[in-house]
Structure 1
Amino acid sequence: MTIKTALTSLLNIEHPILLAPMAGLAGGALASAVTNAGGLGVIGGGYGDKEWLSRELLKAGNAPVGIGFITWSLQKNPSLLDQALAHHPKAMFLSFGDIGEFEPRIKSAGVLLIAQVQNVAQARKAVADGADIIVAQGTEAGGHGSVRSTLPLIPAVVDAVGQHVPVVAAGGIGDGRGLAAALMLGASGVLCGTVFYASQESLAHPNVKQAALAANGDDTLRSSAIDVARGIDWPEQWNIRTLKNPFITQWHHDLGRLKQSVATEKPRYLQAAADGDLDVAAVIVGEAVDFVREDVGAATIVQRMVSTAEGLLRGAPQMLG
């Protein structure tokens, strides 16, 4: 049995699974591993480090992968898009901001445009601005996001724009049960980040991987503390889900004072991240961290997810009397 959807047809992939473009973590090795396993790997270009992106694209080899950017950050350095498009990615993945100004350049390069949204209004606007695929991200997701929960958000977005473009579910999806459920909600596939966070190909620090393997969804929290500490001016509508730690607990409800302390807290935070000091540095995972329990390769994760989903979908008719 093969799961065929509008997403697999449009992207010409075997399985309806996309790798989330986790900034600094989803590099060329991880993206190519997901692509070679039948999904679509997306390199996490994040805030735009040209040297890092060039290096990771080389690591991806000839595997057709996508490239993801944080949209509001790309607006400050639009030349990054030219660098990305020069590598002829399978798709460009834009999150957190209006895609309209970038759509003509992406489409003229013959590249598909994936837009990640957090509510129905954003989905409608992204489709109007030329998105080929919509990723509807629920608040359960790791990293930056908003407030809508995945379960009701997905069918709402499908109802709003699903007749025009494939809709991909994101947020809290970590195994084949989540994939099967997303398909039943009307999605054409899933976007997963957390479940690949501790994979063998991930660029995460070894300490971070071990923390993810030991954590569960109850250990996560949405906050703006680490963005303030890093001096990154994220728009207020988006905060970031991570594992709780002493640093985040200290500053979560005292962001005003943290802003006044950035001169000392920023270097402290950046050094902790480099050292893998998790009393300070954040482990950026979502509620699907419950499903991160083994140090395995990305291909194994994809294969297990698809196998479980296929089994559930095959058995679904037996529920009907």
Structure 2
Amino acid sequence: MALATAFTDLFQLRHPIALAPMGGSAGGALAAAVSQAGGLGLLGAGFGDREWLDREVPIVASRPGLPWGAGFLTWGIQDGAVEHVLEHGPRAVMLSFGDPTPYAERIRAAGTALILQVTDLEEARQAVDLGADVIVAQGTEAGGHGARHGRSTLPFVPVVVDLAAPVPVLAAGGIADGRGVAAALALGAAGALIGTRFQATAEALVDPVIAQAIVDGSAEDTERSTVLDLARGSDWPSRYPARTLGHPYLDRWRGREADLARDPQARQHYQDDVARGAIPSLPVWAGEGVDLITDLPAAADLVATLAAQAEDALARAGRRPPQLPR
């Protein structure tokens, strides 16, 4: 059976699956592969680095009729970056983490769908007021950055669905197989936005060491913290800790974030450790669904697998279980 929803209808998709616009790693090849397989591929535009955009956007934008979009980190968007992407005719632009108000109208005025990611109900209400075409409800199980005081995906999604109706909502956070997609649909979402699972694909722009760490990782090893942003000298607002796999600097500085923030020598030590290969160049962003990731498939094959698994899970959920012998 085809899983048709308001989200698939909006973008003429075959499957209610979207690629999370993971900064830097969701490049043109990955977005194009997801879209060609029937989902919605979203480029990880991050803050809008022009050189990166000029390299990656044409890979997906040059394919006529292919639905695609780009996602930005709202709190740090570079001047002109949104307009530069809009010139290439994306079907959607997604904004996450920060006030989307300055960008919402110009996106909609371009005839582009506005996707807003929310991490709490205040953000969800704002998204509705701004006229979002799609809302992404991100739970705390998600890999990478998220709200410090957010809520788990399971209870958060249906509340946002009810608040936002009839605006379609995508569930995000901890979804790494088709059963998770089916669960999102059962919660009333119109689809799922998936990140960590797509990091471990052939087309993702990640170091093979990082991809393998995701395959080998366990949810028990993930942790939400601001330590690695502080150690890297990143400007991420402290209200958005990040979920990553374990890391030596987490063990070294856990509970001493204020000390780390005041210690420039510690940040230099971090850069030195990266330079000599003692630690990865980037943290391994990973959500709690990482246990379900055991291979590195092509993204198109993964989309097909997720869709088939979701259809099977929903079909099984609708069947009467066999009677146990008395």
Q: TM-score, normalised by structure 1?
A: 0.93
Kept after mapping to 1: 8 A contact 2:28/2:56:
yes
The residue correspondences of 1:84-123 to structure 2 (distance < 5 A) are 84-123=85-124
Q: Secondary structure at the match of 2:53?
A: helix
Structure 2 residue identity aligned to 1:200: A
Q: 5+ unaligned residues in a row in structure 1: which ranges?
A: none
After superposition, the CA RMSD in angstroms is 1.9
Where does residue 128 of structure 2 map in the other structure? 127
Distance in 1 separating the partners of 2:270 and 2:300: 36
Distance in 2 separating the partners of 1:315 and 1:225: 43
The residue correspondences of 1:233-244 to structure 2 (distance < 5 A) are 233-244=235-246
The residue correspondences of 1:1-321 to structure 2 (distance < 5 A) are 1-60=1-60, 61-62=62-63, 63-74=66-77, 77-146=78-147, 147-161=150-164, 163-262=165-264, 265=267, 268-269=270-271, 272=274, 277-278=278-279, 281-319=282-320
Distance in 1 separating the partners of 2:265 and 2:81: 28
Deviation at 1:53, TM superposition (A): 1.2
Q: Secondary structure at the match of 1:23?
A: coil
- Gap change, CA 1:310 and 1:281, over 3 Å in 2: same
Deviation at 1:320, TM superposition (A): 7.9
Kept after mapping to 2: 8 A contact 1:20/1:42:
yes
Structure 2 residue identity aligned to 1:253: G
Kept after mapping to 1: 8 A contact 2:48/2:81:
yes
Kept after mapping to 1: 8 A contact 2:141/2:287:
yes
- Gap change, CA 1:280 and 1:90, over 3 Å in 2: closer
Structure 2 residue identity aligned to 1:319: R
Kept after mapping to 2: 8 A contact 1:143/1:285:
yes
Structure 1 residue identity aligned to 2:38: G
Q: 5+ unaligned residues in a row in structure 2: which ranges?
A: none
Kept after mapping to 1: 8 A contact 2:142/2:286:
yes
Distance in 1 separating the partners of 2:216 and 2:100: 37
Name the count of aligned residue pairs. 317
Q: Secondary structure at the match of 1:199?
A: coil
Q: Secondary structure at the match of 1:113?
A: strand
Distance in 2 separating the partners of 1:10 and 1:158: 17
Q: Secondary structure at the match of 2:81?
A: helix
Deviations 1:72-113 (A, max 9, x none): 112xx2311111111111100100112121111101111000
- Gap change, CA 1:214 and 1:130, over 3 Å in 2: same
Q: Secondary structure at the match of 1:136?
A: strand
Deviation at 1:136, TM superposition (A): 0.1
Distance in 1 separating the partners of 2:163 and 2:277: 43
Identity, % of aligned positions: 46
Deviation at 1:199, TM superposition (A): 0.5
Q: Secondary structure at the match of 1:22?
A: coil
- Gap change, CA 1:156 and 1:178, over 3 Å in 2: same
Kept after mapping to 2: 8 A contact 1:208/1:278:
no
Kept after mapping to 1: 8 A contact 2:224/2:244:
yes
Distance in 2 separating the partners of 1:174 and 1:38: 17
Deviation at 1:237, TM superposition (A): 2.0
Deviations 1:244-270 (A, max 9, x none): 111122123211222223355257348
- Gap change, CA 1:121 and 1:80, over 3 Å in 2: same
Distance in 1 separating the partners of 2:169 and 2:279: 35
Structure 2 residue identity aligned to 1:31: A
Distance in 1 separating the partners of 2:278 and 2:34: 29
Deviation at 1:234, TM superposition (A): 2.2
Distance in 2 separating the partners of 1:108 and 1:228: 38
Deviation at 1:275, TM superposition (A): 7.5
